[in-house]
Amino acid sequence: MDEAKRLVELIPRLRRYARALVGERASADDLVQDTLERAWTKLHLYRRGTDLRAWLFTVMHNVHVNRVRATRPVDPLEDEMPELAQRGTQADGLLVRDLDRAIARLPADQRSVLLLVTLEEMSYEEVARTLGIPIGTVMSRLSRAREKLRAMMLGQTPPSTKLKLVK
């Protein structure tokens, strides 16, 4: 089957993952757009017969990592920024907002592992390949991410929340 068409079919899944990863719709679609643009220019590097989905998620992962690095947002603007008048885009329910908040508090590398396993239902080998990390690392990140998420959703503090300097 033609990869180009497959790629288009995968857009909704890219959007789902991006939405959970960055926690907000417009930025998620910006990420998907950058990913698609990059994927088109790199499609000749994709090897036929290998897993296109894993390849595409790898592209997205790299784009995301670069964007995060590039816009390293100092600290969130929330305290300084006036609330924008909401324009009826409250499509996201309460649970989603709670999850968004909890997921956003996971360390970035644990977040991608958790979401690929949970949303994409990838096998651990696929996750390892997609993110370019050893499978043991996948397992330990997954385990830590789940425990933190569980603690947060129960309203407790996760076991080790030490503030850490991010480079």
Partner 1 sequence: MSEPISEADLQAYADGHLPEERRKAVDAWLASRPEESERIAAYRRLASEVRAAYNTMLSEPVPSRLTRVASAGLRWRRVAVVAGWIVLGILIGAPAGWYSRPERLVTQVVPADPSMIARRAAVAHATYSPEVRHPVEVGAEDEQHLVTWLSKRLGVKVRAPKLDDAGMSLVGGRLLPGENGPVALFMYQSQNGRRLTLYVRTEVPRNRETAFRYARENNVGVFYWIDREVGYALASADLTKDELLRLANLVYKQLESS
Q: Is 153 in the site for partner 1 (CB under 8 A)?
A: yes
- Tokens 């784009």, located at residue: 63
* Cβ-count burial 111-142 (b if 16+ within 10 Å, e if not): bbbbbbbeebebeeebbbbbbeeeeeebeebb
Q: Which is nearer to partner 1, 30 or 58 (CB)?
A: 30
Q: Which is nearer to partner 1, 49 or 82 (CB)?
A: 82
Supply the minimum distance, in Å, between the C-beta of residue 165 and partner 1: 15
Is residue 28 a contact partner of residue 19, using CB atoms and an 8 Å limit? yes
Segment interacting with partner 1, rule: CB under 8 A, options 52-60, 65-73, 104-112, 157-165 = 65-73
The whole-angstrom separation of Cα 128 and Cα 134 is 6
The whole-angstrom separation of Cα 73 and Cα 82 is 17
Q: Which is nearer to partner 1, 13 or 58 (CB)?
A: 13
Q: What is the DSSP letter of 158?
A: P
Helix (H, G, I), strand (E, B) or coil at 21: helix
Q: Which residues bind partner 1 (CB under 8 A)?
A: 2, 4-5, 7-8, 11-13, 15-16, 19-20, 24, 26-27, 29-30, 32-34, 36-37, 39-41, 43, 66-67, 70-72, 74, 77-78, 80-85, 91, 93, 95-96, 99, 103, 115, 117-119, 121, 123-124, 139, 142-143, 146, 149-150, 153
